[in-house]
Amino acid sequence: MVLEEAAAKKRVQLLKNLPTLPGMIDKISRAVESKRFSAADIGKLISRDQVLTAKVLKLANSAFFGFSRKVGSLTQALVLLGFDVVKGLILTSSVFDLMKNKGEDLWRHSMGVASAAAIIATEVGMPDAEEASLAGLLHDLGKVVIRVHMPDDSASINELVEVEGLALREAEREVLGFNHTQVGQWLAESWKLPEQLSEPIRWHHKPEGSRAAPQMTAAVHLADCLVRGFGYGDGGDPWVPPLDRFALKQLGLNSQKLENIVAELCEKLSSANGASMGS
Amino acid sequence: MIRLTVDKLTTGMVLAQDVTRDDGVILMGKGAAVSEDAIRLLERLDIESVVVEGDLFASEEERQAYLKEAEEQLDLRFSRVEDDKVLMAIREMFRARIKKGCLPPPPPKPEPEETDGFVVRFDGE
């Protein structure tokens, strides 16, 4: 099994048509590290890819995201949000491009978790609500890869969920020997995502596993439970997963704070507000 | 009142809230009737959604049936964690909201719609 997992990891990391962006990200990362470039230079570098620019700006300005200011250009995005957040936005928009028509429900689930994570982060006074949004948005990265690049396995997994009633992550383990959190981690590694993003991807089902970003991971874990509980989008199976006590402790939640979080989440995700519902 | 995305607006609807630009300038006032011109204007201004008068449901029975269904779905989602007190408390928080009409939107229909119609202008490129 260990061998198989190593092979699978390699397979994932070698996927060729997984976002075209590693090249772009590399270029930008190097520019950032060299310190000889200003935000404006880097903004220019990214904006050569107009489609990407448009997507990143749209995402940054989407009502779901909860960035407090309207972001008008990539340079502004870099200054306001920082490079890690912009990098995450680029990754996200590219990854979910893969899903297009296939993954509307998973996309919604991810947007929902992004909203919820930001709400939680704000309520418990974490300094980085925007990064929490991103962590939420990216947490199911691995599911995208499994769906798109392992279609046969993906079909078997879905069958196990529908017929046997397994939770998606259990079905993944059954079929593949690993689950989407590991796949996500492999990608996060090869893309050199910061720990604040990679740990929630890896540990959102088992928050006590996070060493470097336990609070962020806890926020995403709770966000996932809440969004599933509210029934927004589809994370691959219909059930609310167990809520980890370690995560609750990490967040220092009491019932009043939880109530506030739920209220704001309902407000934000309900059909009467923002999302379309037909007339 | 209900919030609708601009593409779902039809003429004759009545705005239930002002439509404002990000900087607070009012573009269309509450009480205004939605016309074809208004829809085109809203699209051009990249306004995503507006709040109009009216209701989602044609009748009270329809509403009740929808709420009942929503509660059943809620119970189903929490069916595997019924021994967790905190999650049960959360479920009841959601139930209270559902009863007030705060519902998740139904799953999207698989429409072959690609870019959800957004346009970004590029300056200086």
Domain boundaries, chain B: 2-52, 60-99
In a shared domain, residues A71 and A107: no
How do B26-28 and B19-20 pair as beta strands? Answer: antiparallel
DSSP state of B6: G
Task: List beta partners, residue B15.
Answer: B52
What's the whole-number mean pLDDT along residues B65-77? 92
- The answer to whether residue A186 sits within a structural domain is yes
Band (pLDDT 50/70/90 cuts) for residue B7 is confident
Residue A241 lies in a domain: yes
The per-residue pLDDT for A21 is: 47
For A59-87, the DSSP string reads HHH-TTT--SS---SHHHHHHHH-HHHHH
What part of A 74-103 touches B (C-beta under 8 Å)?
100-101
Indicate whether A278 belongs to any domain: no
From its phi and psi, is residue B37 left (phi > 0), alpha (psi between -120 and 50) or beta? Answer: alpha
Domain boundary among A44, A62, A97: A97
Q: Which two tokens stand for residue A128?
A: 């980085």
Among candidate residues A189, A193, A65, A56, the one with its CA nearest the CA of residue A134: A65
Residue A279 placed within a domain: no
B chain contacts of residue A54, beta-carbon cutoff 8 Å: 118, 120, 122
Asked whether A171 and A160 are in contact (CB, 8 A), the reply is yes
Domain B2-52: give its CATH code.
Answer: 3.90.105.10
Structural domain total, chain A: 2
Residues of chain A in contact with residue B54, where contact means CB-CB under 8 angstroms, are 279
- Hey, are the CB atoms on B81 and A54 less than 8 Å from each other? no
Question: Quick one: A254 and A163 in the same domain?
Answer: yes
pLDDT tens readout for residues A190-229? 777 789 989 999 999 999 999 999 999 999 999 999 999 9
pLDDT of residue A253: 92
pLDDT in tens, A57-80: 777 777 656 666 677 777 787 787
Q: Are residues A235 and A108 in the same domain?
A: yes
Q: How many CA atoms lie within 13 A of A236 on its CB side?
A: 27
Whether B26 and B67 have beta carbons less than 8 Å apart is answered as no
Domain that holds residue A63: 19-97
Based on the fold, state whether residues A75 and A171 are members of the same structural domain: no
What is the CB-side half-sphere exposure of residue A151 using CA atoms within 13 A?
5
Q: Which of A82, A97, A112 is the last residue of a domain?
A: A97
A125 and A180 together in one domain: yes
> CATH number of the domain that A206 lies in?
1.10.3210.10
How big is the A-B interface in CB pairs under 8 Å? 123
CA distance A169 to B120: 38
**Same domain, yes or no: A199 and A140:** yes
Residue B118 at interface with chain A, using a CB cutoff of 8 Å: yes
Q: Which of A49, A67, A97 is the last residue of a domain?
A: A97
Is A194 in the same domain as A65? Answer: no
Is residue A277, in this structure, part of any structural domain at all? no
Contact across the interface for B78 and A108, Cβ inside 8 Å: no
Within a domain: A136? yes
Q: Could you tell me if B112 lies within 8 Å of chain A, comparing CB atoms? A: yes
